[in-house]
Amino acid sequence: MSLLRAFGHRIRYLRGKRNLSQEALALKSNLDRTYVSDIEKGKRNVSLLVLEKLAIGLEVEINELVEDL
């Protein structure tokens, strides 16, 4: 599995643990819902700033986003 797909699965897993929809995560992270969808599909190579936004939206530390990739 590619790194982008593995990261997307990790985001989807963390989002699911918090019972958040893609739209809810997008709103909490100040991102577009389609961007979150593309991340989860492994279609986006995210920047450090987006990692920070996702961590804020998921209420986790940044390192939790990339654990076990």
DSSP per position, the chain = --HHHHHHHHHHHHHHHTT--HHHHHHHHT--HHHHHHHHTT-----HHHHHHHHHHHTS-HHHHSTT-
In a domain, 69, yes or no: no
Containing domain of residue 22, as a range?
Answer: 3-61
Q: How many domains are contained in the chain?
A: 1
pLDDT by residue (tens digit) across 32-64?
Answer: 999 999 999 999 999 999 999 999 999 999 999
- Asked, for residue 36, whether it belongs to a domain, the answer is yes
For residue 67, being part of any structural domain is answered with no
The CATH number of the domain where 16 resides is what? Answer: 1.10.260.40
Tokens of 57: 């939206």
38 lies in a domain?
Answer: yes
pTM: 0.93
